[in-house]
Structure 1
Amino acid sequence: MHLRKGSLHDAARIAALVNSAYRGDSSRHGWTTEADFIDGQRTDTSEIEEILSADNQCILLAERNEEIIGCVHLEKRDANVCYFGMFVVKPELQAQGLGKRLIMEAERFASHRLACTIMQMHVISIRNELIAWYERRGYRRTDERRPFPYGNERFGIPLRDDLEFIVFVKELKVN
């Protein structure tokens, strides 16, 4: 697995990978699917282009044989906080340790390249298996909750009315 920062040239492939891992039948090949409670897309090419064009954001790509097999969105939000999102491993390659490796690299990048001491993420509150996975990697729940973006079809079409995000954080080691 090779890691690199994504470029505008990668935007369509990144959007396709993210959507395949979170939504629709293809996402059911992995354990990170949201297809049972959110329909539609997770992102689109224009959102990915916005992220890749921003000075304070990037998408790290995991590649194997020039195929994008994973990604993670990092956004420096203030002096020491890095937001971590859009974390994806290609569904048929999940549960092989690639996610663990990618999250470690994302944390290292946030610490060393962005000089952040805290990684922050938002996880949909009903994702118990995913929450447990992040907790095993040192992320802890905060008391903070964020509303789900109901009405924003760019993020998807919720199939339930009880969705919200829990904010998680992890302290990073800065060398």
Structure 2
Amino acid sequence: MAAADTSYGSLRFRVATPDDATQIQALVQSAYRGRQGWTTEADMLADNRIDVEGVVGKMATPDTVVLFVADDTGALVACCELAKRSADLAYLGMFAVDPRRQAGGIGREVLAHVEAYCRRTWGARRLEIGVTWPRPELFEWYVRRGFRGTGEKRPFPYDELASGEALRDDLYFDIMEKDLGAA
């Protein structure tokens, strides 16, 4: 579903297009596999988090959007994947903030926009995420934003690594959920 540009705080949001896929892939790679920023998984995984074709594939998936988040200069500073999972449940994935700009409030602004988008667009009353274990600092960041652990654990998709390998064989996803209230 395409949407016009919208603003939230100092950020501008729009639904990404395939023309944005290369920029988005580079941002996701730097946030998840680079050595800068607090969200890196480089000590757990030695691969590309996603390739350009994977980003385009997410954009083409029904009931799924990739959001392009820009600062006031138009530069990409964050992105995420949103998917409608059921009548009242949305999923947040591939959430990345430029590592050079992390810890400055961008993630909080993006998350607030995501919640409003999911309520408005899909009528979602709940938002789900999967946090890779062991990432206690990330799990705690989401708890501070109103998410709770559900106790559900999902297997890590070792067979879907974009390229490269896992550096650990004990990874899994802790599933978290946030109540978004009435749509």
Are the equivalent residues in 1 in contact too, given 2:87–2:122 (CA < 8 A)? no
**Paired position in structure 2 for 1:138:** 146
Q: Distance in 2 between matches of 1:81 and 1:107?
A: 11
Q: Distance in 2 between matches of 1:126 and 1:159?
A: 13
Q: 1:41 to 1:59 in 2, by over 3 A?
A: same
Give the C-alpha shift of residue 151 in structure 1: 2.7
Give the C-alpha shift of residue 155 in structure 1: 7.0
**Paired position in structure 1 for 2:6:** none
Matches within 5 A, 1:58-97: 58-64=65-71, 65-97=73-105
Matches within 5 A, 1:11-160: 11-23=21-33, 27-64=34-71, 65-154=73-162, 157-160=165-168
Deviations 1:60-106 (A, max 9, x none): 11102121110111000111110101111000000000000001101
**Paired position in structure 1 for 2:20:** 10
Q: What root-mean-square deviation, in Å, do the aligned CA atoms of Structure 1 and Structure 2 show?
A: 1.2
- Relative to structure 2, which stretch is displaced further, 30-39 or 49-58? 49-58
Moved over 2 A (4+): none
The percentage of counterpart residues that share the same residue type is 37
Q: Distance in 2 between matches of 1:4 and 1:29?
A: 26
**Paired position in structure 2 for 1:174:** 182
Give the C-alpha shift of residue 44 in structure 1: 0.8
Amino acid at match of 2:154: R
- Secondary structure (helix, strand or coil) at the match of 1:72 reads strand
- Secondary structure (helix, strand or coil) at the match of 1:28 reads coil
- Secondary structure (helix, strand or coil) at the match of 1:84 reads strand
- Secondary structure (helix, strand or coil) at the match of 1:113 reads helix
Are the equivalent residues in 1 in contact too, given 2:93–2:130 (CA < 8 A)? yes
Q: Distance in 1 between matches of 2:145 and 2:57?
A: 29
Amino acid at match of 2:12: H
Give the C-alpha shift of residue 153 in structure 1: 2.3
TM-score (norm 2): 0.90
Gaps in structure 1 of 5+ consecutive residues:
none
Give the paired residue count: 172
